Structure 1
Amino acid sequence: MRVGLIARDAGHPVLAAAAEVLVRRGCAVEVIPPDGVAPSASEAGAGAPSGAGAGAPSGAGELADVYLLKARTPQAIALARELEGLGAVVINSAAATELCQDRVRMAELARGAGLPFAATTPAGRLGELTGPEHPFVVKSRHSRRHDLVAKVDGAMRLRELAGRWPDEEVVIQPYLPGNGWDQKLWVIDGRLFAARRRSELSPASDEPGLAGAWEPPAEVAALALRVGEVFGLDVYGVDLLDGAAEPVIVDVNAFPGVRGRPGAPEALATLALRAAAERERVPAARGR
């Protein structure tokens, strides 16, 4: 069985650990960089899959049995869509991954499905924003690594951010007071992992970190699982405000890192194996 990892960082702890599990179970694991450039040894890290290399995404070779779409750049999504067009199984799908990159579409889908997602309003370019009543939260419209997430509590703060991000397309959300932490829930094929993380809006956010073990209440766990159904995701993260206003979803992430969660690599490997097995059964069923 062949598994393709569409990723720029093959040495990411969860990916590398999942790849090791897959190799032990007899799978061949290939790293397929979305930009066509194989990661260097230093980028891949010591935990990268042994013998990992750039697989053939189209016509040049046989498709892998399943692909894991960790990268979320436009190039990665385009590659995943090409693979799906050739009949490949991609986790998460290109459409679901792309949707989670646009916070306006994300909020519209969530609120339309009755999920308690924070009210999210497109606001154009940050440099042209005059701002509603203060305080509020401003975020990059397009979710990505190192994007903009900030609390605006006055005109001076807005000017400061606009000076640094003048052309950034943004959304605004109402500021909801919390306790300085976010509830982080990750789901892999229906298996839930949870922790609390210092909020990006907290004054202590320069010292990020995960709090100790946290068992979410049943209603929060059910909410996280419902997000996967609504968004069509198998591997995803849900961020909720931790405080008096909960439950309020403030973000959904396709294929997050899930770092430091025991059992996460094994769950990811099991998902890949199951998806590949189901792909094999479908043609056989059609043949009968």
Structure 2
Amino acid sequence: MRICLLTPDPDHPLLAATTALLTPHHQVEWLDPQGCDDFPERFPDPSSLADVYLLKTRTPRALALARYLETHGAPVLNSASATALCQDRTAMADVARRAGLPFVATRTEPSLAPLVAAGEPATPVVVKSRHSRRHDLVARVDDAARLRELAARWPDEPVVVQPFAPNDGWDHKLWVVADQVFAALRRSELADSVPGERTRTFGPGELPAGWADLARRVGEVFALDVYGVDLLDAGGTPVIVDINAFPGIRGQSGAPEALAALALRTAAGSRRPRVPAAP
């Protein structure tokens, strides 16, 4: 089988470990979509296509390449449409809540200016860039002064606004590869800074009842095969605050094996493609 990694960083720990598992019997190559300018010249006929592509980057160029490959019959994990859906936090919240998932209440604003004009917030909120990307805006806002500060730094940024859910200061990070769930606790970037450990890894059997099934349900709704779900424990009730397509899944025993097996099943055509719900 030919497996191609769509990434600028093939040495990422998850990808490197997966490559090591596959290379004894399969051909693994990589392609940085940012350097791929002319798709028809690079892929002149079906024989030039790999058996499966792993989409570990979410730039506009990467999504365009993934769509091109899919149009010409190549399977891509995750699909371009599923990956793009997870980049629009407004669409993400809409799809999740219509599907009955416990996603945090989310409203959209064209910028932070309307919130400043309205004198918000009356209660703590979290503001995030509407369009998820590296180094985007994610911040807790407790008062008008903090909001004015962010508005000055991000004057034209479309945002989503979510109520700050009281919690224990730990994000439950759940990662799923082909329905296999991995989990860890990570100190929330929005929590008060305290000394001590930042990450705690634990087994899916240590999750509260129903949380692993909830993570798998996210994959069904969003048509994702490799993804992450960020959950908060709000008084014993899980609240989804973010969904990520193809996250890093660092340090999780068994994740490379699960990804390698998924890639081979997909390349062999034994995995049935899914389509995400429309926002």
Q: TM-score, normalised by structure 1?
A: 0.86
Among candidates 258, 264, 267, match of residue 273 of structure 1 = 264
Matched, 1:96 2:95: no
Structure 1 residue 83, shift from structure 2 partner: 0.3
Tell me, yes or no, if the aligned pair for 2:108 and 2:160 is still in contact at 8 Å. Answer: yes
Give CA-to-partner distance per residue, 1:162-217, whole Å, 9 cap, x none: 12211211100011111110111000001000011111211228988311425212
Residues in 2 aligned to 1:12 and 1:197: alpha-carbon distance in whole angstroms: 20
Q: Which amino acid aligns with 2:100?
A: G
Residues in 1 aligned to 2:199 and 2:220: alpha-carbon distance in whole angstroms: 27
Q: Which amino acid aligns with 2:147?
A: L
Change (3 A) 1:208 1:62: farther
Partner of 2:255: 264
Correspondence list, 1:1-288, <5 A: 1-24=1-24, 26-36=25-35, 58-59=43-44, 62-130=48-116, 131-204=120-193, 209-214=198-203, 215-244=206-235, 246-278=237-269
Structure 1 residue 127, shift from structure 2 partner: 4.1
Residues in 2 aligned to 1:197 and 1:280: alpha-carbon distance in whole angstroms: 32
Residues in 2 aligned to 1:144 and 1:89: alpha-carbon distance in whole angstroms: 24
Give CA-to-partner distance per residue, 1:17-48, whole Å, 9 cap, x none: 10111102x111111111117xxxxxxxxxxx
Change (3 A) 1:245 1:127: farther
Residues in 2 aligned to 1:12 and 1:203: alpha-carbon distance in whole angstroms: 30
Secondary structure at the residue paired with 1:176? coil
Identity %: 60
Change (3 A) 1:107 1:84: same
Change (3 A) 1:170 1:206: farther
Partner of 1:40: none
Tell me, yes or no, if the aligned pair for 1:8 and 1:33 is still in contact at 8 Å. Answer: yes
Aligned residue pair count = 264
Q: Which amino acid aligns with 2:247?
A: P
Structure 1 residue 104, shift from structure 2 partner: 0.4
Secondary structure at the residue paired with 1:247? strand
Superposed CA RMSD in Å reads 2.3
Give CA-to-partner distance per residue, 1:64-93, whole Å, 9 cap, x none: 000000101111111100000010000000
Residues in 2 aligned to 1:244 and 1:266: alpha-carbon distance in whole angstroms: 35
Q: Which amino acid aligns with 1:191?
A: Q
Q: Which amino acid aligns with 2:213?
A: A
Residues in 1 aligned to 2:188 and 2:264: alpha-carbon distance in whole angstroms: 35
Residues in 2 aligned to 1:280 and 1:171: alpha-carbon distance in whole angstroms: 35
Tell me, yes or no, if the aligned pair for 1:176 and 1:245 is still in contact at 8 Å. Answer: no
Residues in 1 aligned to 2:195 and 2:227: alpha-carbon distance in whole angstroms: 25
Q: Which runs of 4+ in 1 moved over 6 A?
A: 205-208
Secondary structure at the residue paired with 1:159? helix
Q: Which amino acid aligns with 2:10?
A: A
Structure 1 residue 15, shift from structure 2 partner: 0.7
Q: Which amino acid aligns with 1:162?
A: A
Residues in 1 aligned to 2:149 and 2:199: alpha-carbon distance in whole angstroms: 29
Give CA-to-partner distance per residue, 1:135-155, whole Å, 9 cap, x none: 111011011122111111001
Residues in 1 aligned to 2:33 and 2:113: alpha-carbon distance in whole angstroms: 32
